Structure 1
Amino acid sequence: MNAGLAGKRSSSSWEAINDSLTRPQVRATREHPLLHRLETDTDIADLLRWPGEFDLDRRDPVEELRLPRGLPLAPIAGCGSGGTYFLCGHPDDEQRPVLYASSEGQVTLIADNLHEAIMLIAAFPFWQDLGQGLPAAALEDQMHEDHPDFGELRDHLITSLRLPRLSVDEAVTRLRAAAGRTAPHYLPTAVGEAKPYELLFS
């Protein structure tokens, strides 16, 4: 299982509030309605943190990254193992893919846009294991064994998001398709380094 899945959701209000004084902001926030909603609905933000492993308060990558074509990278969240999620491209781009960079120098696109990324993360917080080919049933069983409230919290998150729920087959197909588009244009290099990151899924 991925590191950091032992976190716990804190209780919070269902009402969306303006929490700009307590949550760090990024350039993408006001220019991306879904991201703004995730940030200002504290219940959803807590559920994304756990069980989603998508923590909106973790926005400090282990190092500064640059894409080959110079497209902007906006960090939007992190996970318990030190990885960072980025929105790629300019705010007015029609599509802004979501890139995940691990703390160990591996990277992959996980979706063509934030909506699809959140659908994947909400339904399958163990998407990295899924992408490595581990059977979904075994991953589900392990999550339920380690965290008996996992299913209830996940259902709560998906219902709160009001986004379609992915099947396992849909999730794997979309994830593999996105991952296949990572190289060469979304394979970043750390500032000051010559060697680019490695692909998470080889």
Structure 2
Amino acid sequence: MDAADDLLLRIGADRELSGFLAWPGDFDLERRDPVEDLRLPTGAPLAPIAGDGAGGTFFLCGEPGTARPVLYADSEGGAALIAADLAEALALIAAHPYWRDLGNGHSPADLEAELIEHDPGYPARRDRALALLGAVPPTAEEALARLRACAARTVPDFRPIARHQDAAGPYDSAYTVLFQD
């Protein structure tokens, strides 16, 4: 077991933290069943760790005890690395649950205001989750810069391929475009 596995166990044992990550973070430990069985071109293992409400899956890439970046694969055939490791991914998701929209022309302030409109207790819940994770929240600018750097590393080694015969080939690297400068 490595640090990522320990962190996942800790989250699973804390209802408050796992609840916040599930919503609004859309990182649900109960949704570990990917839409497709995926593999990496390098043969490195992919371990599904959480899913989102739209059918996407978060994976740890690589063997326990090694550097394990986090890959997000959506249900539409798009994928990208989103963080260098699980701790960085969780800091991103907790601080900016709207991370997918950061590089999509949306103002972080507007995204934040929309969350607060739907959940006035969101800022306090976010701060509590970050404290429970022991995470320093990245600013929106830092988060987007990290997303871009990670997404740029996706191709070729971390671009997943569906294992079944009818697969259309490797997943699209659309997120790498989304998070480009």
TM (normalized to structure 1)?
0.81
Cα deviation 1:11-70 (Å, max 9, x = unaligned):
xxxxxxxxxxxxxxxxx7897221221122222111111122110000010010011011
The range that moved more, 55-64 or 188-197, is 188-197
* Count of aligned residue pairs for this structure pair: 174
Whether 1:197 and 2:171 are equivalent positions in the alignment is yes
The range that moved more, 146-155 or 69-78, is 146-155
* Amino acid across the alignment from 2:128: H
Do the aligned partners of 2:2 and 2:64 also contact (CA within 8 Å) in 1?
A: no
1:48-197 alignment, distance < 5 Å: 48-93=21-66, 95-192=67-164, 193-197=167-171
- Ranges in structure 2 where 5+ consecutive residues have no aligned partner: none
Q: Pairwise CA RMSD of aligned residues?
A: 1.7
Do the aligned partners of 1:98 and 1:117 also contact (CA within 8 Å) in 2?
A: yes
Do the aligned partners of 1:75 and 1:86 also contact (CA within 8 Å) in 2?
A: yes
| Between structures 1 and 2, the one with greater helix share | 2
Using the alignment, how far apart are the partners of 1:121 and 1:111 within structure 2?
10
**Moved segments of 4+, more than 6 Å:** 28-31
* Amino acid across the alignment from 2:14: D
Using the alignment, how far apart are the partners of 1:162 and 1:145 within structure 2?
26
